């Protein structure tokens, strides 16, 4: 008995492959939050990999830029960072106001950054305000970023110096898992497609 090929089979296979690849790579892309106030824009970066964990020291930095793309370093900005647990009412004091320090990250030099230890999992608001120091030509700004903090390991913050070398080695091992997993998913997808085409 001869089975006639279905004229829609190739479309179905294409859509299944598209959905599988989209679902695979959606989790890989790191999302950076961008906010704009007056003529200043900022992108919030959270290390590592844009994931904050409760009880662990979390480096954050803000890529501040003026309209036109010029970077605004901390030395040119009288910036202030306040962190609020969500929900919070206006006028309520900040949970913590970590000091900002200049950081060099990616292609940015001297941008505002801080190290934050979120006390527990949940939603927090990072409020960055700033006004120009003398000689700068931009308007004061207020930027609010919502950050979701996952459950972490509170002992990490306490013993970070003692385990820095070990954690660096283990994170390298974990970083290799993702490409291997992606490769396995892609090879499995190709196998499924070949199987479906040969039906």
Quick: pLDDT tens for 49-68: 888 898 999 999 999 898 88
Range 140-163 average pLDDT = 70
pLDDT at 27 over 70: no
Q: At what angle do helices 9-26 and 160-197 cross, to 10 degrees?
A: 180
Range 77-88 average pLDDT = 91
Kindly indicate the confidence band of residue 114, based on its pLDDT and cuts at 50, 70 and 90. very high
Range 93-100 average pLDDT = 92
- For the question of whether the overall pTM of this predicted structure is more than 0.85, the answer is no
Task: Give the phi and the psi of residue 99 in degrees, each rounded to 5.
Answer: -70, 140
Distance between CA atoms of residues 29 and 1, nearest Å: 48
Task: Share the mean pLDDT of the chain.
Answer: 77
- Would you kindly state where each structural domain of the chain is located, as residue ranges? 33-154
Distance between CA atoms of residues 116 and 99, nearest Å: 9
pLDDT at 112 over 70: yes
Class of 33-154 in CATH = mainly beta
pLDDT at 185 over 90: no
Range 129-148 average pLDDT = 88
pLDDT at 99 over 90: yes
What is the per-residue pLDDT for 7?
Answer: 63
């Amino acid at each position: 008995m001869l089975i006639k090929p279905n004229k829609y089979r190739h479309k179905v296979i294409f859509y299944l492959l598209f959905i599988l690849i989209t679902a695979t790579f959606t989790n890989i892309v790191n999302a950076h939050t961008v906010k704009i106030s007056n003529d200043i824009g900022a992108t919030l970066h959270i290390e590592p990999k844009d994931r904050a964990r409760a009880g662990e020291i979390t480096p954050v930095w803000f890529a501040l830029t003026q309209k036109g793309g010029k970077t605004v370093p901390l030395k040119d900005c009288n910036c202030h960072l306040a962190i609020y647990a969500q929900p919070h009412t206006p006028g309520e004091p900040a949970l913590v106001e970590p000091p900002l320090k200049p950081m060099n990250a990616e292609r940015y030099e001297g941008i505002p950054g801080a190290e934050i230890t979120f006390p527990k999992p949940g939603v927090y608001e990072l409020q960055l305000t700033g006004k120009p120091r003398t000689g700068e030509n931009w308007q004061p700004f207020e930027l609010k970023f919502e950050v979701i903090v996952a459950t972490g390991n509170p002992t990490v913050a306490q013993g970070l110096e003692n385990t820095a070398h070990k954690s660096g080695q283990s994170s390298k091992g974990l970083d290799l898992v993702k490409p291997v997993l992606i490769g396995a998913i892609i090879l499995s997808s190709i196998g499924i497609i070949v199987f479906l085409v040969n039906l």
